[in-house]
Amino acid sequence: MARRSGVSVATVSRVFNTPEVVSQQTRQLVLGIAAEVGYLPNESARTLATKKSNMVGLVWDTDHRRPGWRHPFLQDILVALKSALSAQGLHLLMLAPDPSPGPARFLRAVQRHNVDGVVIIDNGSRDPAVLALADAGVPCVALDLRFTGPACTYITSDNRGGGRQAARHLIERGHRRIATITGPMPTYPAVERLEGFTAALAEAGLTLAGAPAGDWYLESGYTAMKQLLDLDPRPTAVFAAGDEMAVGALRAVHEAGLRVPEDVAIVGFDDIEVATLIPPGLTTVAQDKTGIGTAAAEAITAMLGGAATPPPTVLPTELIVRGSA
């Protein structure tokens, strides 16, 4: 016991937790030997005693058969989340789902480790194992997933607003025959982007020239665009509800021997890295990835701090105009 070095006992504990309650003098003393001896409080012991671990769990199902593992900009979110959490002295524990199956496979891991709260990044699935967390009263913040409950909140981009931005841009550019390629259809980002898009179209007296659904990935955008190109009259602009699909669409247009944006204008959604890399540059509705990560950290910290469950955060999107529309 490093504490032996000094003269005190649990005063050491006070020095590290409630320094203001210790006399200037003994504080210095203790801090002195602590530095000297290289003393570090042991988190496990502390967790055992307090029931708080200073760890927030990350629920991210990396099962390749499920959608969450391939979140389009996880890395950006993660960086922001981790940085913001670190600033509060919180660590991020990537939870390994408990081996024994059943709806408690995340919950068990959470409980065993006394994780204080979790952030869920699951790209749209309604996994019972995730819902179990909410039911158990674990403070949760979900990303890109409506998720509510007494101790649950979520962070999302303004998908509806983003859809409108896309529509307005296309309309301003003079397009009248406009189509969209939606995301997988029961999912809420897909639904909201579509709603925003069609609403803005309607305001301009326009109606959708087509709306095949994709699955967010490139291939589906490619296929959907081919369908759209077969229409007669052919749409002059299409809004792909995700950048990967937009890239697929771009490819289909090129293969058809048409030009972007002259023959067909394309706008995407997300603003992932490829958007800048691919010629002629993808015009797209950008999500604020850093903002999402930061907001998630804030929401969690607030809840851990005992605050009331914060309301959902809806982050504004921004239209980035590049060459494709």
Residues that bind its own copies (CB under 8 A): 40-45, 47-48, 53, 55, 58, 60, 62-64, 69, 74-75, 78-79, 82-83, 85-86, 89-97, 99, 108-109, 111-114, 218, 247, 251, 254, 273-274, 277-279
DSSP 286-324: E--HHHHHHHHHHHHHHHHTTPPPPPPEEEPPEEE--TT
Please report whether residue 7 would count as binding DNA according to CB under 7 A: yes
3-state secondary structure at position 83: helix
How many whole angstroms separate alpha carbon 167 and alpha carbon 253?
Answer: 20
How many residues sit close enough to DNA to count as binding (CB under 7 A)?
28
Considering the complex, what minimum distance in angstroms separates the CB of residue 273 from DNA? Answer: 43
Binding-residue pattern over the window 23 to 62 for DNA, x denoting contact by CB under 7 A: x-xxx-----------xxxx--xx-xxx------------
Indicate the helix (H) or strand (E) that contains 189. helix 188-203
Do 172 and 202 touch, CB atoms closer than 8 A?
Answer: no
Considering the complex, what minimum distance in angstroms separates the CB of residue 299 from DNA? Answer: 24
- Closer residue to its own copies, CB minimum distance, 171 or 241: 241
Sole binder of DNA in the list 2, 131, 151, 213 (CB under 7 A): 2
Please report whether residue 125 would count as binding DNA according to CB under 7 A: no
How many whole angstroms separate alpha carbon 120 and alpha carbon 128?
Answer: 13
Do 263 and 177 touch, CB atoms closer than 8 A?
Answer: no
* Residue 140: strand pairing partners: 118, 152
Considering the complex, what minimum distance in angstroms separates the CB of residue 28 from its own copies? Answer: 16
Contacted by 142, from DNA, its own copies, none: CB < 5 to 8 Å by type: none
Indicate the helix (H) or strand (E) that contains 36. helix 24-37
The residues that touch DNA, with contacts defined as CB under 7 A, are 1-3, 7-14, 16-17, 21-23, 25-27, 39-42, 45-46, 48-50
